[in-house]
Structure 1
């Protein structure tokens, strides 16, 4: 059976186009606020729209959940995503490759930069306890991990990367107000380009729930990881980018 290339949202029955949406309006909860929520839903293409939940959120704000039908279709053939283009390795395999091919420990420096104080993401990747049953990069005996923590300035990050002779720099960004995560990432990438020549720069990797993984080139980094990323994925990518791909490229250059 061929895969459907064009699909419609599913709610109660197949193809009914029903979706659920939540949002907050800066108005106190009353009948007028509920009417405003339905008006917004209608302007966004819900027809009919039903208000299924409304609750006061502090002074002068109301949170809404609306449910209704939309006529929009999704063309799966036009969807663009970043597919994993490297094998997913175990900790044992990562350690073996680093030891055999790099012949030294792979140095990783991680931080939350700017005013971002949310270290849950970077800690989940770096700290030995890890996340979802997976150990963090500190668990990998052939990786040397330096976790700088939160609210690290870009100059401090560059200096730490230089001091630790970092092969890779991992940055987590959760705060997204006024696109702070994008501004901080661009600033970081520019700082590393200015501070280090192309062949000496570490791999630049950013992660966070609001990043578009397709924007790596635009932001000046090597890779973007989104929500749900595990330490194993990051470790596997490091080996792929810093050892497997680089050594294959070097062999081709020497052969030429």
Structure 2
């Protein structure tokens, strides 16, 4: 009768198997001391062989500053008997950058099913994280673009209705969109309608002044409409000089002003 591989052979086979996997894998006892790991885990730990991990704790490794957190995660899995998956954290990369890791832990059980430790592995999700960040940025830019539309309402007349809060990031995006639109449409008048702006602070009013000045540098006139009593008081109180900007009460008056000015130029 053919005998199966002995224990040493089975362990060697298991070690070869986990060494072939791309993730850094480890297993610990209930005291969070390492019982073993694969070659990727050894490399991550700064060792040449997984055997050098055996008997060590996280306090013995280069991430010792996070040892208490890792021990708490181990205990949570050991005491609950439930896995703890997809814990994302940054690691320093070899090139000085940041590598993003998803850390996973599951209970290590003996033949009877009792929890005797924890098995964990690290998955490099840097590419996924960068893709998620790029998608989030694209969504943000699309949202900002939708929040600051540029509308051609007549030949040479553009209207940008502003709604909500005008912060520094949105102000920069507003100016970029406005200037690109003035150049594209060869506009002679750009109207910034602030009727829907909830609050006008120094940042918002100064952003309007800068946007208007930039429009004038392109040879177009800047008109601000929708300035109610609260906004007018804020402009006076903050002492922001809108320069040569025409300020009118509502958008209808702004469009009429732009068309009349265009007619005068043609006449």
TM-score (norm 1): 0.33
The structure with the greater share of residues assigned to strand is 2
Q: Which has the higher contact order (CA 8 A, sep 6+)?
A: 1
Larger Rg: 2
TM-score (norm 2): 0.31
The structure with the greater share of residues assigned to helix is 2
